[in-house]
Copies of this chain bind each other. A is one copy, B any other.
Amino acid sequence: MTSASPWKQDFPIFSSHAHPSLCYLDSAATCLTPKHVADAVYHYQCYSHANSHKGLYQLSANVTEKVEHARETVADFIGATSGASISFNSGTTEGINLIAFSFVEPILSDAYKKGKPSNLVISAVEHHANLLPWQRLAERYQAELRVVKITDEGIMDLAHLSQLLDNNTRVLAFSHCSNVLGRFNPAEQICRIAKRHHVPTIVDGAQAVAHGKTNVSAIDCDFYVFSAHKLYGPTGCGVMYGKTEHFEQMRPYQLGGGIVSKVNFTESDFVAGATKFEPGSHHVAGIVGLVEAIEYLHDISWPDIQQHMEKLALYLNTSLNELPYYQPLIVPSAKRLAAQPTEVASIVSFRLKNVHCHDVASLLDSNNIAVRAGHHCAQPLHETLGVTATVRASLGLYNDFSDVDKLVAGLDQAYQLMTG
């Protein structure tokens, strides 16, 4: 690998009239957009836009077909066997709220009415999006919200998980990859453990899908959710995968047009399948852009992406580790690093000794380096680890060795300025 990213040129933001010297290290928040994706959205809005699923005319039928075809593309992308298992929404946040309301709440409510105790299990690393909905349900049904500890390596403690699951566990919701620690949970193994206890599983894939081939069939989770914009796709679009066998018993979430087969003023019948969860007009431009993003990644190929990202992640971690004032949130054991170099995280969260995280981020910004500072919507995780905020650097396709060098130089400068 040369030091330059072979794909940087695909991202117009780096062009000479825009931000050629931008060092963007916040892909975990949102990915920059490749021209392919922006073009696809543009062409859709300009030349193909119409209402999907409702018009009999050709323009509308074509849009319907685009949306239905997108289900297949997405299913294929995450290893689902059928497009019927794919429902579109506005993002990971909505996906989790949807599952909480449509699938989990009726189960909890039922147990509650029967006087049976319930508990919900999540992990200590969860993003607020995968915590708050469960907190609300736990409160409403007097259920216990159990939190699986993480190991020193930043992944779920499987022994603790096994202890927490029991016959009253109504759901296990966990992130495939933490947006703070960048570590992948062994999702297959976790779902297998859950299955032994007959506990349905929801996987927050927001951070995982852009970093390697996802296979929901192998993971064997009940639900998997993610957002297009963290996958080089457009804003406002997300995906819920679910085992179709659940769809029938699930109640619709938001209510509106297109999800009903028969309505009068006193009652309504709902349609079956994934569309039951898609009321109102589809965000077709978002879906079209998501498909384009998937095709873009497919054209590059996972092996090439992973090779680039792994080398870069290793360089990032090694370079940061050499800074004497660097305080990572999680210290990967040297043994593990040596044994599994490919598991180096492409998201790192850290602090600089005696320098506040927000000062670090501001000072880096003055050198055109974009990192995130704060709790990254994972405040309880930070509390668990005994800090209030960290600086987070995360890698994307456009990054290369020079970005890491800039970051290190920027950190050095910030440290000297604030403490020198």
A interface residues with partner B (beta carbon < 8 Å) = 12-13, 18-19, 22, 24, 26, 29-30, 32-33, 35, 37-39, 41-42, 45-51, 54-60, 90-94, 96-97, 127-129, 131-133, 135-136, 145, 147, 227, 229, 234-237, 254-258, 260, 262-268, 279-286, 358, 361-362, 364-365, 369-374, 377, 379-380, 383
- Which chain B positions have C-beta within 8 A of A55? 26, 29, 361, 370, 372
- Which chain B positions have C-beta within 8 A of A229? 281
Task: Report whether A281 and B50 are in contact in the complex, using a CB–CB cutoff of 8 Å.
Answer: no
Give the interface centre of A41, A45, A258 by most chain B CB atoms within 10 Å.
A45
Task: Report whether A46 and B372 are in contact in the complex, using a CB–CB cutoff of 8 Å.
Answer: no
Task: Report whether B57 and A254 are in contact in the complex, using a CB–CB cutoff of 8 Å.
Answer: no
In angstroms, Cα B132 to Cα A265, docked, is: 9
Task: Report whether B380 and A256 are in contact in the complex, using a CB–CB cutoff of 8 Å.
Answer: no
In angstroms, Cα B263 to Cα A147, docked, is: 14
Q: How far is the CB of A38 from chain B (nearest CB, A)?
A: 4
Task: Report whether A361 and B56 are in contact in the complex, using a CB–CB cutoff of 8 Å.
Answer: yes
Q: How far is the CB of A192 from chain B (nearest CB, A)?
A: 25
Task: Report whether B93 and A129 are in contact in the complex, using a CB–CB cutoff of 8 Å.
Answer: no
Task: Report whether A379 and B262 are in contact in the complex, using a CB–CB cutoff of 8 Å.
Answer: yes
- Which chain B positions have C-beta within 8 A of A22? 59
Task: Report whether B281 and A59 are in contact in the complex, using a CB–CB cutoff of 8 Å.
Answer: no
In angstroms, Cα B90 to Cα A372, docked, is: 26
Closest-by-CB residue of B relative to A369 is B57
Task: Report whether A256 and B45 are in contact in the complex, using a CB–CB cutoff of 8 Å.
Answer: no
Known interface pairs A49-B235, A284-B235, A362-B56; A257-B30 also in contact (CB < 8 Å): no
Known interface pairs A132-B256, A135-B266; A46-B51 also in contact (CB < 8 Å): no
Number of copies of this protein chain within its complex:
2
- Which chain B positions have C-beta within 8 A of A59? 19, 22, 24, 370
Specify which of B57, B93, B254 is in contact with A93 (CB 8 Å cutoff).
Answer: B254
Task: Report whether A282 and B129 are in contact in the complex, using a CB–CB cutoff of 8 Å.
Answer: no
Q: How far is the CB of A279 from chain B (nearest CB, A)?
A: 5
- Which chain B positions have C-beta within 8 A of A282? 235-236
Task: Report whether A49 and B30 are in contact in the complex, using a CB–CB cutoff of 8 Å.
Answer: yes
Closest-by-CB residue of B relative to A260 is B128
In angstroms, Cα B97 to Cα A268, docked, is: 16
In angstroms, Cα B254 to Cα A96, docked, is: 9
Task: Report whether B372 and A54 are in contact in the complex, using a CB–CB cutoff of 8 Å.
Answer: yes
- Which chain B positions have C-beta within 8 A of A58? 365, 370
Task: Report whether B135 and A91 are in contact in the complex, using a CB–CB cutoff of 8 Å.
Answer: no
A selection of 9 A-B contacts at a CB cut-off of 8 Å is A24-B59, A26-B50, A38-B42, A90-B236, A93-B279, A128-B263, A135-B267, A235-B286, A236-B236
Give the interface centre of A90, A254, A260 by most chain B CB atoms within 10 Å.
A254
Task: Report whether A256 and B93 are in contact in the complex, using a CB–CB cutoff of 8 Å.
Answer: yes
Give the interface centre of A58, A135, A280, A380 by most chain B CB atoms within 10 Å.
A280
Closest-by-CB residue of B relative to A38 is B45
- Which chain B positions have C-beta within 8 A of A286? 235-236, 283
Known interface pairs A236-B285, A268-B132, A285-B235; A46-B35 also in contact (CB < 8 Å): yes
In angstroms, Cα B266 to Cα A147, docked, is: 10
Q: How far is the CB of A27 from chain B (nearest CB, A)?
A: 10
In angstroms, Cα B257 to Cα A133, docked, is: 11
Specify which of B127, B234, B266, B377 is in contact with A45 (CB 8 Å cutoff).
Answer: B234
Task: Report whether B365 and A56 are in contact in the complex, using a CB–CB cutoff of 8 Å.
Answer: yes
Task: Report whether B47 and A18 are in contact in the complex, using a CB–CB cutoff of 8 Å.
Answer: yes
In angstroms, Cα B46 to Cα A286, docked, is: 15
In angstroms, Cα B374 to Cα A377, docked, is: 45
